[in-house]
Amino acid sequence: MVSNLIISAQNLDLTFQTNDGPVHALKDVSLEIGKGEFVSFIGPSGCGKTTFLRCIAGLEQPTGGQISVNGMTPDEARKARAYGYVFQAAGLYPWRTIGGNIKLPLEVMGFSKAEQAERVARVMDLVDLSGFQKKFPWQLSGGMQQRASIARALAFDADILLMDEPFGALDEIVRDHLNEQLLALWARTEKTIGFVTHSIPEAVYLSTKIVVMSPRPGRITDVIDSPLPRERPLDIRDSKEFIEIAHRVRDGLRAGHQDDV
């Protein structure tokens, strides 16, 4: 039993009905995530990592099993605004300024005008975007746009941050930089983070817990608790421990692959 349980899934099943017959996206997935953990989901495409994240967010309905978020059903948690979600693309509204985009969830949730302004300023500072409030998304680089979308997810101060390959479309250098910033942000805000990725170094560098998944049907093959300290400079990636964990992740991915090659 994890202390301060935030997310708990038991024997989760999800089958999509498609034109080519049913697709078993998740099979018998059980996982517990405690408060303040940074959990990465890694696996090849079709392994159900994004689907699992969407189940936590209440964006997909599981067809079997139990899942609870903050002791509620995901749908209730969604309506209680328990989490911020960051998508693969920044998905900022082009007709709103950066500040306007970050304000969007606050408007929807009915914060007062003064509180909106105060929160926008705070989270923009948090992701290092102060001064870009009046710019439009298309005037910013891809990395800055993704930072703005993280700020948008942080604006209403939910305890949980769910991120679906947020840096997948960015180049390596920008990605390293954002990874570092994300860790700093996590340390400062003590949020619980669920993070989908297909990059092994990214998963190992960021996480306290790495969940390895494999496809057809989507399932968990390994859960690795990282022995790395919470304080992580970028060059920790050259350390022996880091390489060992990366190895274990790679082995897990390979094992999951064996039965369909």
Partner 1 sequence: MIYVVGALILWGLGWMLNARLANGPRANTRAVQIAVPVIFGATILLIWELIVRGLSVPLVILPPPSMIATTFANSLPILWADFVQTFVKGALSGFVIGGVAAFLLAIVVDRYDFLRRGLLPVGNFMAALPIVGTAPILVMWFGFDWQSKAAVVVVMVFFPILVNTVAGLRDTSDMQRDLMRTYGASYGQTLFKLRLPAAMPFIFNGLKIATTLALVGAIVAEFFGSPTRGMGFRISTSVGQLALDMVWAEIVVAALAGSFFYGAIALCEKGVTFWHPSQRS
- Residue 146 CB, nearest approach to partner 1 (Å): 13
Site for partner 1 in 56-115 (CB under 8 A): 57-59, 78-81, 83-85, 87-89, 91, 93-95, 104-105, 107-109
Contact call for residues 151 and 133 (beta carbons, < 8 A): no
- Tokens found for residue 10: 């038991």
* Kind of pairing between the strands at 83-86 and 64-69: unpaired
45 binds partner 1 (CB under 8 A): no
- Residue 90 CB, nearest approach to partner 1 (Å): 10
Nearer CB in complex with partner 1: 84/143: 84
Site string for partner 1, 145-174 (x = CB under 8 A): -----------x------------------
- Residue 237 CB, nearest approach to partner 1 (Å): 31
* CA distance linking residue 97 with residue 88, whole number of Å: 20
- Residue 254 CB, nearest approach to partner 1 (Å): 31
Residue type, 201: P
What lies within 8 Å, CB to CB, of 66 at 6+ separation is 8, 9, 10, 11, 12
Contact call for residues 162 and 56 (beta carbons, < 8 A): yes
Nearer CB in complex with partner 1: 28/156: 156
What lies within 8 Å, CB to CB, of 222 at 6+ separation is 210, 211, 212, 248, 249, 252, 255
How many residues at the interface with partner 1, by CB under 8 A?
25
Contact call for residues 162 and 130 (beta carbons, < 8 A): no
Site string for partner 1, 182-201 (x = CB under 8 A): --------------------
- Residue 76 CB, nearest approach to partner 1 (Å): 10
Q: Give ∠ CA 200-203-208 in degrees, rounded to 5.
A: 140
Which residues of this chain interact with partner 1, rule CB under 8 A? 57-59, 78-81, 83-85, 87-89, 91, 93-95, 104-105, 107-109, 136, 138, 156
